[in-house]
Amino acid sequence: MRLDIFSLFPESFDWLQTQRPVQNALREGNELRLFNYRDSTPLSGRQVDDAPYGGGAGMVLRVDVIDAALQAAYGDGLRPRIVLLTPTGRLLDDELADELVAERHVALLCGRYEGFDERVHEHFADDEVSIGRYVLAGGELPAMVVADVLMRKLPGALGNASSAAEDSYSRVLEGMPEYPHYTRPPVHRGWKVPEVLLSGDHEKVREWRLERSRERAAAFAEAERSAHRDSPKSASRTE
């Protein structure tokens, strides 16, 4: 796939590009490109933002600046699936990641300041994605999260032996968390590795792991139910 990231701080993605799964994915023919809104802005002094109409704190990324960035990157040609990173977007999960990684070409647009002019949402965004219900200073960290989760799903990204297909929350695990892992030493401070893992009985190991995944899934579900019960939103409900 081809992944394009638009940001005011493209250099913040340097670290991401040193990561092994990303490097593997790129070697397999995938592409990661970075764009700086300032490089294509039609405004003088590399300006990209402006004060909000109607007043208020903060600055807003201008729609003409976003338009120019997309125009500079794609011209009038085929546009990628355009994903805005915004704290109010659709929550990122494994299902959304699978949906995005199936695309041939995706663009992630990072916001800063108070966000994008609303017309960017209306006229350019195919999707709006959030990585959680809290507000970060900008879309760069979320874009790295999205890029990481997408890249590791690409064939060859994790090396020969492993695959993201069996990760926690994947379809293979029926959306369940992964089972626990152990390695040497077999005993540390009296803390033992479960006997079955040392037994060499592959069928028993498989059953044990599935059972642990189910246990964790049940514990997760219970934790979510209790979080929901205790949330201020559900307190006002009569159900």
Q: Which residues bind ligand 6GU (CB under 6 A)?
A: 85-87, 89, 130-132, 134-136, 138-139, 142
Residues 73 and 48: beta-carbon distance below 8 Å: no
Q: Is 118 a catalytic residue?
A: no
Query: Is 152 annotated as catalytic?
Result: yes
Q: Between 136 and 210, whose beta carbon lies closer to ligand 6GU?
A: 136
Q: Which two tokens stand for residue 106?
A: 């995706």
**Which CB sits closer to ligand 6GU, 68 or 83?**
83
Active site residue 64: no
Q: How far is the CB of 136 from ligand 6GU (least distance, A)?
A: 4
Shortest distance in whole angstroms from residue 198 CB to ligand 6GU: 42
Among candidate residues 52, 87, 177, 180, the one labeled active-site is: 87
Tokens of 19: 């990561």
CA–CA distance, 154 with 201 (Å, rounded to integer): 31
Catalytic residue among 4, 140, 142, 152: 152
Active site residue 114: yes
DSSP string over 44-83: GGG--EEPPTT--SS-EE-HHHHHHHHHHHHTTS---EEE
**What is the nearest approach in angstroms of ligand 6GU to the Cβ of residue 57?**
15
Kindly tell me which of 24 and 86 has the beta carbon lying closer to ligand 6GU.
86
Beta-carbon contacts of 157 under 8 Å, excluding residues fewer than 6 positions away, are 21, 22, 24, 25, 28, 151, 164
Active site residues: 87, 114, 152, 167
